[in-house]
Amino acid sequence: MKNDQNNSITDIKLLPELDISASSDALNILISHDYYSSDTDNGRILLKSLLNALLYSGKEIDNLFLLDSGVKLIDAEAESYPLLIKLIGISDKAYICSDSVQHFNIDPVYFPERLSSLSADEMFGIILTCNSFLHI
């Protein structure tokens, strides 16, 4: 596409109403599975250990994203639910994918107030603005 000098370049921001400024030492965490590594009992034990390690790592968490089967962790009957609730509590911002919630038929009654529901499009828009991730 040819750049015409008479046209001004417009700065377009994705979801400008959301402030996504991250500190350099803070983590962005994307949880897209309800297990770690493999979909087995061991994978669920490993995920619980990882969430526990994140809680006590001393690292700041800027953004926490839950999508795909990761939204299953927000069910109060999930083993990792208490750890996830604590992780949401220490995160600067926490998001859950409304499309995934609908797909897996998750009851939002267990959602903490700090958890913002976004469509997949909105969530990926934010994800694209983040520098790096810990993907689970």
pLDDT by residue (tens digit) across 66-122? 999 999 999 888 888 999 999 999 999 999 999 999 999 999 988 999 999 999 999
Q: Which residue has the higher pLDDT, 29 or 1?
A: 29
pTM: predicted TM-score of the whole model, two decimal places: 0.79
Write down all domains in the chain, each with its CATH number in brackets: 27-135 (3.40.1260.10)
Q: What single DSSP character describes residue 74?
A: G
Q: Give dist(CA 81, CA 72) in Å, integer.
A: 9
Q: How many residues does the chain have?
A: 136
Closest Cα to residue 30, out of 54, 57, 56?
54
CB under 8 Å to 30, separation ≥6 — which residues? 65, 67, 70, 127, 133, 134, 135, 136
Asked which of 14-18, 21-25, 26-30, 62-66 is least confident by mean pLDDT, the reply is 14-18
The answer, yes or no, to whether residue 8 has pLDDT greater than 70, is no
- Here the tokens at position 10 are 């417009």
The answer, yes or no, to whether residue 3 has pLDDT greater than 60, is no
Q: What single DSSP character describes residue 126?
A: H
